[in-house]
Amino acid sequence: MKKILTIFTILLLVSCKQEKKSDYTPVRGLITDKAMVVSARQEASKIGNDILKKGGNAFDAMAATELALAVSYPYAGNLGGGGFMVYRKNNGDIGAVDYREKAPLAATKDMYLDEEGNVIPGKSTLGAMAVGVPGTVAGVFAVHEKFGTLPIQEILTPVIELAKKGVFVTEKQEKRIAAKQEDFSKANKDSIIFMKAWKQGDTIRYPALAKTLERILENGRDEFYKGETAKTLAKFIQDNGGIVTEEDLAKYQVRWRDPVTFTYDDLRIISMSPPSSGGICLAQILKMIEPYDLDKFGHNTTKTIQVITEAERRAYADRSFYLGDPDFVDIPNKELISDDYLKNRMSSFTFDKATLSSDVSYGNVQVVESNETTHYSIVDQFGNAISTTTTINGAFGSKLYCSELGFFLNNEMDDFSSKPGVPNMFGLIGAEANSIAPEKRMLSSMTPTIVEKDGKLLMSVGTPGGSTIITSVLQTILNVHEFGMTMQDAVNAPRFHHQWLPDVVMMEPNSFPEELIKELTTKGYTINQENSPVIGKVDGILVLDDGKLEGGADRRGDDTAVGF
Active site positions, annotated: 373
User: Interface with ligand DON includes 249 (CB under 6 A)?
Assistant: no
79/82 Cα distance (integer angstroms): 8
User: Interface with ligand DON includes 242 (CB under 6 A)?
Assistant: no
* Residue placing its CB nearer to ligand DON in the complex, 295 or 415: 415
Contact segment (CB under 6 A) with ligand DON among 265-273, 357-365, 438-446, 450-458 equals 438-446
Among 469, 480, 493, 538, binds ligand DON (CB under 6 A): 469
What's the DSSP call for residue 55? T
Site string for ligand DON, 413-432 (x = CB under 6 A): --x-----------------
User: Interface with ligand DON includes 300 (CB under 6 A)?
Assistant: no
* Residue placing its CB nearer to ligand DON in the complex, 384 or 389: 389
User: Interface with ligand DON includes 393 (CB under 6 A)?
Assistant: yes
Contact segment (CB under 6 A) with ligand DON among 21-29, 168-176, 197-205, 464-472 equals 464-472
82/62 Cα distance (integer angstroms): 14
Bridge partners, residue 527, by sequence:
505
371/336 Cα distance (integer angstroms): 11
Contact segment (CB under 6 A) with ligand DON among 48-56, 164-172, 187-195, 440-448 equals 440-448
Binding residues for ligand DON, total number by CB under 6 A: 13
Q: What does the H/E/C string look like for 466-504?
A: HHHHHHHHHHHHHHHHCCCCCHHHHHHCCCEECCCCCCC
DSSP per residue, 90-122: TTS-EEEEEE--B--TT--TTTTB-TTS-B-TT
39/66 Cα distance (integer angstroms): 9
The amino acid that residue 479 corresponds to is: N
* Residue placing its CB nearer to ligand DON in the complex, 126 or 446: 446
Among 304, 387, 445, 475, binds ligand DON (CB under 6 A): 445
Q: How many CB atoms lie within 10 A of CB 25?
A: 7
Q: Scanning residues 354 to 383, which ones bind ligand DON (CB under 6 A)? A: 372-373
Nearest approach, Cβ of residue 133 and ligand DON (Å): 15
Query: ω into residue 502 within 30 of 0, thus cis?
Result: yes
User: Interface with ligand DON includes 398 (CB under 6 A)?
Assistant: no
Q: Scanning residues 491 to 520, which ones bind ligand DON (CB under 6 A)? A: none
Pair 409, 128: CB distance under 8 Å: yes
Nearest approach, Cβ of residue 469 and ligand DON (Å): 6
Pairing status of strand 527-528 against strand 505-507 = parallel
Nearest approach, Cβ of residue 372 and ligand DON (Å): 4
Closest of 475, 362, 492 to residue 24, by C-alpha: 492
- Reported as type and span, the H/E element at residue 165 is helix 152-165
User: Interface with ligand DON includes 384 (CB under 6 A)?
Assistant: no
* Residue placing its CB nearer to ligand DON in the complex, 51 or 446: 446
Cα–Cα distances in angstroms (integers) from residue 54 to residues 59, 70, 347, in the given order: 13, 22, 54
Contact segment (CB under 6 A) with ligand DON among 21-29, 91-99, 185-193, 442-450 equals 442-450
Pair 52, 37: CB distance under 8 Å: yes
User: Interface with ligand DON includes 48 (CB under 6 A)?
Assistant: no
Among 158, 466, 540, 551, binds ligand DON (CB under 6 A): 466
Question: Which parts of this chain interact with ligand DON (CB under 6 A)?
Answer: 372-373, 391, 393, 412, 415, 444-446, 464-466, 469
